[in-house]
Structures are given as structure tokens and as C-alpha cells.
Structure 1
């Protein structure tokens, strides 16, 4: 039989006057017919049988049938809480399954059995008298547990306890299993949702890195992308004010009105000025800023002004990204054309010398270098290993 379950049962029965006989597995395997012959012979051989404990789910229905046929008064115990076991218990043919504590392999329930046998009590309902309930639920008299599973993957167990003996029935099993199935679906959906969220976060992070690299200051500055408009009559705005406005613009989520502190040498020194600044944002990534500095110190910015700037800045970001992608595509096409032209010439070579010559000359012309060299061949190392 099952070694762990046998050891748990034997441990619980130690120091008693009862003899435990461990039977070998049926020669024909766990098929129903082989199990039937196996238990039939064992029961005939042990006329003083008190209890027959099956360690496998196939044992219970066979033992129940043999007990009905023989009218025996011996006790039936099993470890697997399956449909056959529940039906046998309901009919009163089997007394209990002792696999409710799999981590103890039936040790605690067997102690209750031993105590009943020592006191000469009936084996009926012995598990109720000797069962050790959860200390947080001391009034428990009946318990039912069903797996929360998706396919063959068990996610957990749904356990229900009752304070009335035999208070849980087969219909309760069906209801509890239905609830457990719904819980399993919910857990599965939650897991899938979490996986999707993680995948989206990774994709978003990768896209942000791509935008950051694509809109790097050094790369964009080489293409332009900066313009400062100044009214002919306006005084020169000092660099410190522009830097201060830019810093505040990049710290905002939307267009905002700010106050600037002018340098003491500025024409506006000592006069307050409010400017309108806005971040230029593309898919949650700031790629630039916009500044509007009024000619008048008394400029009053309205909510409509802010709304107009926000709408224009959004369109600016989208248009800028479209232009960048167009330029990126054009540059890639140009690179591929250059590579294709050079490789076409290389394929026309009829010798290694000619191939090296074409490669050096074409790359030299492409990058306007004064010297280009191509050498083919591997020099033999000094240790002779190639």
C-alpha cells in the first residue's frame, strides 16, 4: 500500500493490542476486478478482522460491496474523499475517510479510532467524537472541502465547517464545488489580468526608452527643432529667465502660468512678469517645452489661453513625431541604398584582391577618408594553435 499512509496509520495504532497486517498491492494492479479479488481473499484469511483501511480511492467501493455481500461488522476506512467514499459513508457502509489531514497521513483521526476501540465504543460516528477541529472553530461537527482548480492545476481548497453532526450533504458538495469553480475562474482571470498588465508595463517601458533615445537632445539638435521668436520692439530676455521658464515648464503636466524673477541688470528688473509655459508631451514622455513671454508686464492669461496652448502643443507633439519617423525612415532607406550599391559592386569581383580593392575604395569614398585598408587572412599564432 501507500508507504506514507501506512506509516501514519501504524504510528497511530502503536501501543495497542491490535495487530496491523499490511497487504501487498494486487498483482493485477489497481483495476477494479483485481482489487476485488485482492480484498476478498484478505477478508477470508483474517476472520477476526476489525477494520479494513484502504489507502487508494479504488479500495472503498470494493470494500463497501464486500461488506454488503458478507454482512460483516468490520469497519471500513479510506484516505481519498471521492464520490464513492461519500456515498459509502452516507449509506452507513463505510464509517469515515481519514485523509482529511493529508499532511499527517491520517495520524490524528486514527488516534480517535484507537480511543474508541479501547473504550469498547461503537465505531459509528467515532470520528465526530475524536476529531480534532480547528482551534478557531471549536464547535465544528462536520467539515467539507473541495479543490479550487483550473484543469489539473489546484489553486487552493474551499473549506466549509458545520456545528451540527452530519450537517453537510451531497447537495452541499455540488453547491460548494460550483462556488469553488467560480472562485477558480476568478483567480485565473486575475492571474491573466496581472500577466497582461505586466506585459503592457514592459511594452510601455520599452516604448518610453525608444522615445527617449529617439528624442535625445544631441540627436534632435543636429536636425534643428528649436526656434525662438522675438518681437522687434521687445527687450532682450536674459538667458537665466529662459532657463528658469524651461525648468518650470518641464515640471508641469499641463500649460501653466508662472512668475519670473529677472536679473538685476535686466530692463525688466524689479517688475513682475507672468509667462505661459507648457511641456511638449508625446505618450506620457516629455520631448520638449514651449514658452510664451508677453511684451507687457500686465499680461493677464485666461483659461481659454491655456486651453488653446494645450491643444496646439498636443498637435505639435504628434506632428513632430510624424516628421521624426519620416526622417528616420528616409535615413534608413538611404543607408540600405548605400549598402546595396556597395555590395552589388562587391559581388562583381572575380578575385580576393579585386574584392578587397572594391570594398576599400567604396567605403573610403563614402566616408571621405584619406586612407582605407582591407586585409584578408588569419595570422598563425606563436603557440601554433592557429
Structure 2
């Protein structure tokens, strides 16, 4: 009894009753045949063949010859009108008669009927298992708990219905036009396959055509005919079906055998195509559920950060929590927050996740505003920028501390038209950024921008309050000075403390000489006291001439600046005016570029008004004190003169007191007779 398998006869059972053998000698386990020739020869039923029979297939003659037979009858056993087996009855003693052959013909017919029934039972059982499998697919996800478990359960179902073959689950992302492989089972183990773009492979053909495909022989040649390419080892048998949702492909299911051909049939393909539709619904629903949960978590993150913003003004603590939540709940590789420096030239890293973030913070990592980097562009333009695949972006510069980055996005931190910095997030997966998570990140960035602005506003308010307290202290201290010099020295010392170490100068005006003279200074390498500046010349001279403040961002760009200290980068000067009279100029200088703001100008203007009043009062006090001293001296002199009893004593006392009071070396009093005075008057 031979089993027909493609172009091979496999011996199922054999016996030699004439020799008492349970197995025929001289026969190989497999015999190559021309299947079409054998099938045509047995088309009408049993065929009685001999060595001399010209019509019998060559293989039958070889069997008769090799077994030393006189003749043999070959009986077909069919299944679904296809030749499934061949029964051979041979004789070495005499030709086989029809009467002898008939029982074997009946046996072959019974075997055909039995095979048909067995096949029907098998098909019914398989169909039942297919229906059961399809019905249970939807329940698999709830029992599995996660998609990987679902894929393993799906593999078990496919093994149960079709057999143990390699399985691939492919998912298609239309936005990135790429295919990812969340599950790949090959030779008894799950392997990892990197995502790849939609191309010319079999998986891509399924997604493009939206039609199932089965290759059971000459797979490599048939694939080439379809215009596809083989990646890796070509399969011998391959079957795939697209996963469609509303006729839109979301992926494909694929099973293959790398060793054998013809392991799948049309019934398998029909079932597999139906199964792919069921799995597509499950995966799509799971993706929607996962997306909903992810959105809810992201919104919860935004709400949590919003609560923290409203309840805390500790920006450092808030940023640490924010980047941690963003990386954890958005499943990103890295998250960082950059804030612009005061001049707005660099975006400086303020907070970041992981060891890489810690290293960048320690190094003071900063990126030029408007540079070609992602953060540089965003901080300069105030627009979000997304790089979905860093390996394909020519302008992307990799950070050696973050070698696994495959996608990066940066969102500006802005309040109104003001750009405060940028939120930078990175992922190890290309095309990780969707409209939904970018929208959530934008909400977070807006909230963080408000937090930064609130913190800055609070810090400025506290600083202004502290400055005004110090200004009050400066004014009070200056006003309590016993001399003008003491008042001015107290003012420059206190103002330097308030401004954090800047250079401070107070110049007083000499209206007659049209000059400004430094009366008090601090912070200069050389003593600036007694330095003179013409009114109208330099920064302080300009302020004195125009009687209005002048704030210079960069002194190297202002021609009015007269260099006195080599390290000065910015300057602020305000006039000291009291009752419309220019008394002088208050001047401060810093080694930082653009160190002074409008608030500083307002603060110094307020202090300048107070100092002008202090200076005017000090001068008035000195005038009053000098006048009092003169009146006291006059009183002392006149008192001594009154105590004299004769003219000579009066004159001597007067000359002595005048010499003492004026500090003169000698004094002379000349008295003329009355006659000479009268003569002079008459003339």
C-alpha cells in the first residue's frame, strides 16, 4: 500500500505471503513518480499491468520487475476525487484473474469511502474548532490581561486548528508608514524584530493589496513575480492575511514553514483570513482602550502638575516632579526642561531625568537660542518641533549621553509672546509622538510656563520688597549722617549690598564749573574720588545734561561710554534732582551683560529722589550750622570787646579775636582823628 504525496510514493505497509515475509525486500521507503501520469493511468479504476504493457507507467513496470512478478494490479484509493493511495496486488506464479482481483477492488472502494467519511469527520471537527476558536478570540484579551499574553493564546489557537508553524503579528502605522512586529514566534521561541518601513516584502504586499495570500510551492519565485523581495531565509510555505478595520489595514497575520511545501490549503486560508478579521477587531479595541487609558493618565498628570503649581512656589521641586511624571507616564526615554538665561542668548538646562540629566546639569549644559538644534529652534521661534526618526534627520545632532534616542520633540514654554524656555522629550522608538500625546505635552508645557512665570513674579516681588526695605534703610542711614560725606558713603555702601556687589558712584554737580565730581564710590579697583566729568560728556554727563535716566545693555556698543573700569559690561545712571535743581548723578555698573531691568531703573529713580532730598537737606544743614558758628563767633568776639574799659583794650581785643577766628597771622586796626575825617568830607 503506497501513500501518494505530491511526486512521491511512500510505503504504508507491505507483505509477501509466498515467502512468508511481513515486508517486501528490495523496495525503498520512498519512490519518485510522475503523479499526473499515475493519476491518469488509474483514472478508470483498477489497472492490470505486466512488463509487456506499453501503456502502464514506467514506475509500475519497475516495481513488477524489481519484485520478480508475473503481473500486478494497481488499485486507486481516492479522497475527494484525488488520488490518495495506491494498492498493489502482485503474483509470481500465475496471471491475476478478474475474479481474484474483484475483492481487492471492493476493498479499495471501501477504503475510498472510509477516507471520505474520515475526512468529512475531520473537516467537521476542524470546522467546529475553527468556529470555537473564532468565538473565543474576543474573550482571549480579557482573560490574557495584556497583548503579549493575547498573542501567546492566539498562537495556541492557531496550533490547535492549523498546526505548529512560525507566527508573525505585524502592525501598520499609517502616519509613519512603518510596520512594527509586536510578536514573532519562530522555531519554538519568541524573537524580536525591529520596526521597518512599508516596502516590498510579503507583509507590505498584504497591507497594500488588503487581500489574503498563500504560497505553498516555489514561494521565492512566486514572490518575485508579485514584485516582492525576500528578507532573510525564504519560506517553503507561506500564508498571510491583512488585519482590516473598516477596510483600513492595521496590520497582518502571517504563518510560515521554512522547511516544507504544501502544508497549507484553501480551507486554512479561509479560516486564517476570518481569524485575521477577528484579531484586527481585538487589537483595534485594545489599542483604543489603551489610548483612552493613556490619555486619562496624561490628563491626570497635567491635573496633578496643575495642583502642584497652584499650591507651591518652589520651582525646583515642581520641575523635578514634572520631568519624572512625564517620562514615567508618557513612557519616554528622557525628559528635560530648558529655561532661557537673562540675556536670552542660551537655553540652559534646569531639570532633566536620569543620570544623563544629572551630568548635563552639573556641566551647566546650554544650547544657543535659535541654533540648529531642536531646543535651539524651539526656544528661538516659539514653535514646537518633532523629529520622528532621528536616524533620517540630517539636522539632528545626537547627544552622546543619550545614545538610544530615536525620536525627539520639543515644546516651547511661553506666556503670551514671551518665550521662557522649552520642554524636551525623547523616545527610543521612532514615530513615538502622536497628536494626542503632543497635545497633552503642550498642555503641560503651558502649565509649566505659568509656573515659571509665577515663580519669577513671586521672586521679583520678594526682591522688590527686599530692595525697598534696603532702600528705606539706605535713605534712613544716609539721612542720619552728620555730614554730607557720611551720607553719601552710607548710600553707596548700602546700594552695593542691594545690587549684589555692583560698582556704585555718586557724582555731585558744580554749576559754576559745569562739572560732575565723584564724591562717593565703591567697587572700583582704583579710588574714583575727586574724578571729574564734564556735564554732557560720557554716560553720567549725558544724564546730567538731559536730566533723565539712561540704561545701557552693552557699554561696548554705546559711544557715550567713557571707559573707567575694564570689566564693565552694562551701566545704569539716574539724575539726582531736588525741586527742579540738578544736584548730581547716581551711577551703577555691572560686569554682566544687560544686568539692569526697568525695575532696577525704577528702583534707582526712587532712591535718586530720596538721595537728592538727603543731599539738599545735608547742604542746608551745613549752611545752617556754618551760619550758627559764625553767629556764635561774632557773639563771643563782641562779648569780649564789651568787657574792655578803654579804647586801647577794645582795639587789642578786637585784633586778637579777629586773628584767632579768621586764622590770620596778624591784624591791624587803623584809627584816624576826627579832624581828618571832617576835612576829607568837606573836600
TM-score bracket for the superposition, by shorter chain length: 0.3 to 0.5
Task: Give TM-score, length-normalised by structure 1.
Answer: 0.36
**Larger of the two Rg values belongs to structure:** 2
More strand by share: 2
